[in-house]
Structure 1
Amino acid sequence: MWEIDIKYGYIDGEDKFFYILNIIDIFDRRIVDYHMGFHCEAKDATALLRCELIRINLFERDTVKTPNKNAHVESFHRILQG
């Protein structure tokens, strides 16, 4: 099972925000893949997920609707923010 979430941060001196979209495998807590850039739109998330599903030839379905059910990737983002 995978969880997916977006985190953003501010770049001092550049007056810009960056975004990182992570897919985490909750079984072994490894980051499956990520997108990082100055924007993160639905098309970026769709492309990232589609590439990974094609790569492993598996289509999973997740119904996560609350942060509590997305705890593993939220925890990873807390570590990134440090």
Structure 2
Amino acid sequence: MDVYDRSIVAYHIGLRYEAKDVVRTLQQALFKRQLFDKEDKPVLRSDNGPQFISHAFKEACESFGITHERIPPSMPNMNAHIESFHRILEEDCLSRYKFESYKQAYETVVEFMTFYINQENAIKIKEVRV
């Protein structure tokens, strides 16, 4: 999530969430925002999950030129923007269904994310026109 404009830049859906998944998602975000060749890159803030404290993720951040900032343990309010989004995802998508399979859950979440991102973009376009 880009905290400046609160947009979801890239995301990962999977049965696991390992360092390699975070690295791939970070690469996607950098490509989407065309930041690989830029000198001034955003700071990445995360919690202290194992994927974020791994050597692989640290090395990726260094190679991408990204500053990684971790919030203190037990302080989710310091990452309030993404925590708020997680609540929206839980309330507006996940808690509304009893999934019969991973495939069904995956398809539902992808559909929700597509809708959410498109709504987000429509609101931004409307704000620019006003």
TM-score by length of 1: 0.60
Task: Indicate the structure with greater strand content.
Answer: 1
Residue-pair matches, total: 58
Task: Say which one has the larger Rg.
Answer: 2
Counterpart residue number, 1:77: 86
Q: Deviations over 1:10-59 (max 9, x none)?
A: xxxxxxxxxxxxxx011111100101011111110011112322x12244
Task: Indicate the structure with greater helix content.
Answer: 2
Q: Larger RCO: Structure 1 or Structure 2 (Cα < 8 Å, ≥ 6 residues apart)?
A: 1
Task: Tell me whether 1:43 sits opposite 2:52 in the alignment.
Answer: no
CA RMSD of aligned residues (A): 1.6
- The one of 60, 64, 71 equivalent to 1:65 is 71
TM-score by length of 2: 0.40
Percent identity for Structure 1 against Structure 2: 45
Q: Give the ranges of 4+ consecutive aligned residues of structure 1 lying more than 4 Å apart after TM superposition.
A: none
Unaligned runs of 5+ in 2: 42-64, 92-130
Unaligned runs of 5+ in 1: 1-23
For 1:46 and 1:68, how far apart are their aligned partners in 2?
A: 24
Q: Is the 8 A contact 1:35 1:44 kept in 2?
A: yes
